[in-house]
Amino acid sequence: MLRPLIHYKVLDLSRILAGPFATQLLADLGAEVIKIEPSTGDPTRGWGPPFEYGDQGESAYFRCTNRGKRSQIMDLTDLDHRERLRDLIKQSDVLIENFLPDSAEKLGLTWERLHAKYPKLIVASVRGFASDVPACRRAGYDFIVQAESGWMSITGEPEGRPMKVGVALADVLAALYTANGIQAALLHRERTGEAIHVEVPLMEAALSGLINVGAGTLMTGLTPERLGNGHPNIVPYQTFACCDAEVALGVGSDRQFEVLALWLGLDLDAEPQWRTNRGRVQDRQRLIECLDQHFAQHRAQDVLKFCEAHAIPASQVRTVDDVLFRQAGILHHLIKTLFDEETGDMVPVLSSPILLNDERACAKLPPPRWKLP
């Protein structure tokens, strides 16, 4: 397997999700990653169930972000441990941290102080809020950022309460931006010899993730509405309840809609505005009510078969266990199994989706087991 970052050493002082997920991606690409944990371990070691052995052992939450790393336990308030940390910093190309600003200052781990002592060290900081805004000293939690960034206001049914996304997606976005920023910093250092500071605020990662909704708000100044599974700019682009199951339908062109409308028996001569996406978006409510009635008369497999025959994007709505277990090898090849030399266990993980020369990037080391100090 290709390991393009094999010559780089990363010191991971981050905890929870965004920072560790970023360093896991770097490990998948070949970097050597040392994870520093407090005497109580990364908090996610206790976030469960599920745990590997029922109510004990490794948590699924810790497992999802820490493969490819070796772990060392350190109390960063202890002088001897601080000396050990300094030795590791001297050997590292990158240090990543997600301390609160006051904690970073107290520990001497701010960019300014680290850069003065280790001018070739790249420092990556994952923050809740950017260091140049008044909210900079607030802690960053995915759930809070989903509320603060507007994500919740556009997620959920129109008449329902605002909802979070089903996973910590703001953390995941921040992790991807962080890994990308670190690789850009490594390239910059190779070209110029200069180490730089990479900072990724969760809040701004979430705002960047608003994409077309954010662009639309900037363009119009209007407050976006919750549309459930609907799309603000494309109709029909949502789920529909058939007589036996739910299907997701993504009609991307007027021609696709005409074909679908003919099959369903819609009269487009009577409703000419439905021939264009602009008209369908403007008449969303009436059209969706009509489609709901028609889809309710069909079986999901019949709808999917028709859509496949006419190149209309569609899928049944699957459960996570269905797609991971029963669709493996059909829809994806993302599951990898790592051998744990300490326990003899085979550890299933979801690898990186990055294919390098047709092979998915995935570090060979399983997540580090917890060892009491």
- Residues designated as active site: 171
Contact 139/100 with Cβ under 8 angstroms?
yes
Residues 6+ apart with CB under 8 A from 192: none
Among candidate residues 147, 107, 153, 103, the one with its CA nearest the CA of residue 127: 103
Cα–Cα distances (Å) from 251 to 213, 226, 277, in that order, read 19, 20, 9
Contact 135/207 with Cβ under 8 angstroms?
no
For helices 284-295 and 254-264, the axis angle rounded to 10 degrees is 50
Quick one: tokens of 235?
């109709």
- Residue identified by tokens 């809070």 is 144
For helices 18-28 and 169-192, the axis angle rounded to 10 degrees is 50
Distance of alpha carbon 373 from alpha carbon 151, whole angstroms: 41
Residue 21 burial by CB count (10 A; 0-12/13-18/19+): exposed, middle or buried? buried
Residue 285, helix vs strand vs coil: helix
User: What is the CB neighbour count within 10 angstroms for residue 320?
Assistant: 8
State the alpha helices, DSSP H only, in 265-319.
Answer: 277-282, 284-295, 300-309
Distance of alpha carbon 32 from alpha carbon 11, whole angstroms: 9
Contact 34/72 with Cβ under 8 angstroms?
yes
Distance of alpha carbon 1 from alpha carbon 253, whole angstroms: 40
Quick one: tokens of 260?
């679908």
Q: Which helix (H) or strand (E) holds 250?
A: strand 246-250
